[in-house]
Amino acid sequence: MMNKRELIYSIAEQTGYTQSAVRKVLNTFIDTVFNEVKSENKVRIGGLGVFSPVLQKSRPVRNPQTMEPIMLAPRTTMKFRTADDLVRKLNNQEE
């Protein structure tokens, strides 16, 4: 699995930009996607996919140590749906 540092290095090597510049762009990208999803907006990136917010409702759970039932508070998570074109490329079904 590639980590963030390796991704930055790879992009810098392929583009000729400095790792510092690539790091700044990548961090800005992550921050922008986060802020848009936090504002309940979708972020659609052609050829890659869509980041979207998902509200998980409150639900009952059990504390595994005490087996006491508690209610898990509602929370927002993020979902990513891969673009169909990318899925086709991954499965060698390019048209």
CB 40 within 8 A of CB 11: no
- Per-residue pLDDT 10s for the chain (95 aa) are 999 999 999 999 999 999 999 999 999 999 999 999 999 999 999 999 999 999 999 999 999 999 999 999 999 999 999 999 999 999 987 65
pLDDT at 21: 98
pLDDT at 93: 75
* Predicted local confidence at residue 94, as pLDDT: 65
CA dihedral of residues 38, 39, 44, 49 (deg, nearest 10): 20
- Residues 92 and 87: their CA atoms lie apart, in Å, by 9
